[in-house]
Amino acid sequence: MSLALIPNFSVPLVPIHEDGDRVPFHADPILAAIEAHEEACAVFQAAAKGGPTLRAFESMEIALEILLGTPCATRFGGFALIRHLRWWIEAEAHHASDCEPGYSIAQAREADLTRFLGSDGVSRIGTAMPSGRLPVSVSAPRPTRIVIEAGPTPSPALVRLGRAVASAGDLLACLVLIAGGCVLTGLASLI
């Protein structure tokens, strides 16, 4: 029997322990809510083939309400919910409109969890190379390409002058540090 078919079904909340995300994954209430919603969707799809039934639709709506109102107790539960909501949003995109509350709330919850968990998607981590390093595509996000429009190119004489001025500035800084050190050493020896 589906948990979604029970009218007053509620998932008990499991508190997160003080040390953070140490709740076992099977104790996360969101996983039971995801399973109940998947089952209610499957029952509704099976009933829709023979003609839509009001009871199956109501069960699916109740399961969706429970799913959207259930907190995630672990990061794993959060990622599982993101994956499930993306599947459901994609499956319901042609049936539901953005003005339906359950559909728009599911979109908002998926977006919030994605931003909170810092994930653009649930993806697999690549296999490490023999050296132990991860491939570049996995270990670091690709940098954003910035295009800077170039102005007129300076003449070679102007480029040499700029380099000479930069070298002169470095030389002046070195002389100031050396002279200042000599002066402070001389003053310290007088005292």
Q: What is the pLDDT of residue 13?
A: 46
CA distances from 119 to 22, 79, 114, 161, 177 (A): 20, 9, 5, 49, 49
Is 143 or 189 the better-scoring residue by pLDDT? 189
| Residue at 58: amino acid letter | E
Give the residue extent of every domain in the chain.
3-117
d(CA 13, CA 71): 8
Is 10 or 184 the better-scoring residue by pLDDT? 184
pLDDT, tens only, 105-114: 888 888 888 8
d(CA 28, CA 22): 11
Q: Determine how many CB atoms are found less than 10 A away from the CB of residue 178.
A: 10
Q: What is the pLDDT of residue 4?
A: 45
pLDDT, tens only, 77-103: 888 899 999 888 888 877 665 557 788
Whether residue 85 contacts residue 41, with contact meaning beta carbons closer than 8 Å, is answered with no
Q: Which range in 9-13, 31-35, 54-58, 145-149 is most confidently predicted, on average pLDDT?
A: 31-35
Q: What is the pLDDT of residue 130?
A: 56
Whether residue 4 contacts residue 36, with contact meaning beta carbons closer than 8 Å, is answered with yes
- On average, the pLDDT of the chain sits at 75
Please say if the pLDDT value at position 164 is more than 60: yes
